[in-house]
Structure 1
Amino acid sequence: MRINVCKFVIAIVALSAFCSIRTEASVLLKSSVLVTDGQINGDLLVSSNVEPHLKGELASIQLGYIPDPLGTLTLDKKTLEKKLSEVSGNFEIPEKITVKRAGAILKAAEIIEEIKRYCLSSDDENIVIDVSKVPASIVLPGNLKSYCVETSAQNNLGMKLFTLKADTDGGPFRQIIQVAVTKRVEAAKLIRLAKAGEVITPDMVIKDQIIIKNNKTNLPMSYEKVLGKTLEQFKSAGTIVRESDISDKKPVSRVVAQSEISPVKKISDNFKENMIKPGDSVEYCVNAGGLRLKVPAKAIEGGNPGDEINLINLKNKKRIRGIITENGVVEYAQN
């Protein structure tokens, strides 16, 4: 009996000593870690004064990856024990470890102000800058030291590409930013069908505000500039008068201009010379408000641009009338 008691006491002392040694040897892992790189290895969870051989064992164990700055990786105790495997016994593992990747946020408002300096000119109120594609905030790899916005685009209007360059304590950063720059201008808009050779008068056009995407070719003309000009081609109601629509010929009176083209209701009997012949399929166009409606129709009579002809509406089979504007196109117009 005395021998058994002695054995029991010795066993308890030995176990206590073993636990004491194990506790002293165990290294407590950090419960919260801040890193600067996306690759997360086990050595990041211990302090720098840990024995080199233990730190070396942890360095070869990959715990996860944080792809983006300010991202977070959370590991529970069970997952850590599985990843650390045989060496887990050397460490005291918390119930949960959180690893956060360092970073900083650059607000869009600051970037937009820089972009506006490049885009705005003396007539600022007419320039429209679409910054909808600029991110609300940009995540940087570290705390911001300095940044700049640059562009090599020479065009004043249209799509412009900017480069954001930032210097951070987590390394350099570069991102392409795209914006659309347009301009609001006054333009003359036709309120009825106008024929080639007609002189534009105040009862034919109104002032309108439109957005242009470039200022190099075929620009819209203002209300004041189009008055008294001669049209080079047919123009539908609701369309904008542009530089290419104006003839270089000397303006003639409206009566003379109309007499020089095929008179309305005068139909050519020579079908071979007609642009549209009886039986041809055409598009019958009607401008209603801001909409342009197209209806399939068949010509009953033939004619050339400026002629008024009869047609059949192929949808409701009713007879309609219109003026030929170009090959295969007839428009309704109330002059």
Structure 2
Amino acid sequence: MLVRSLSLAIALLAAASAAALGQTRDDAIATPVLRANVTVSGDLVRIGDVIDNAGPSAGIAIYRAPDLGMTGTLPVDRVLTALRAHQVIGVDTRDLREISVTRLARTLEGKDIELAVARALERRNGLGDAANLGLTFDRDAGDVRLDAANSGALHPASVRYDARNGRFDVTLEISNDGGAAPVKLRFAGTVIETVEAAVLARGVERNEVLKASDVVIERRPKAEVGNDAARRDRAVGMQARRQLRAGQALRLADLAKPDLVQRDQSVTLTYQAAGLYLTIRGKALESGTEGDVVNVLNLQSKRTISGVVTGRGQVSITVATPRLPDTSDATSAIGAAPVAVAAANANTPVSPKAE
């Protein structure tokens, strides 16, 4: 009985050992399978990149990877030849004729590089905000591709700027996830500070009033415009003090309020006081905008009088006396005929005379 039990135990142990050994052998000889699409992050393509179940040969390099961010193709027969050279055989090709290999990369766009350089120069040696800096690079700052491991932010490692000639030399640094040395990118060129300026779309003559279609917005060098650059909303509706050419950036000194009264223009003279309002036609002897004092010829009396421009074609006459005006004041101020004054006074109520 004891012998039978011992024999049964030995048989069970042997069966278990055989099953474990068979499983190990199956794992060891699992069929390598070719991949149709391969993605690598380094500059080499390894056996473990192109096939599954590569085993101990996975780390062996067999090809150089495509350029950063690029995709290439490999014929399957060439791949199999490279694998056989390293004793990798029996590969399941899944009837593929070629495989594609893509190298991962990080792309830095030119606009991001320009912004990083502008931020490095911001407020340095008298420069303004980064948004107002115009950069010209010695070499094209186009898109730059880096190894995918370089995932850090762009940081200025060194910055040099010469305010005398506007030259800059900036080195940007990008850290590496793998612990390798940071990548450094160097850019040189010139920088100027710009401002938004109202620019003439056409030439205008002296005293011409600017319309909305006459003015556009452009960025111009601050040194060209100066500190009195006119904004578009301040330029439209204003009058040119002098002849201005197309493409010229407008300054506040170039503009004035539009003349509401033109020389030799027919105007309305008004005189108003308590209980009295007189109007008469006149001829402006000079131009003026709102608030200007101009000389006007009274067409009825042929006298020259002064008044303040109050509106388009409107001139108000005032007297230099603080007391309430009477008929003689009005007549003297506006030079009106007595009949006009009498007409105004006819509207003033008269108390009955006591008997």
TM-score of the aligned structures, taking structure 2 as reference length:
0.37
Q: Which has the higher contact order (CA 8 A, sep 6+)?
A: 1
TM-score of the aligned structures, taking structure 1 as reference length:
0.39
Larger CA Rg, structure 1 vs 2: 2
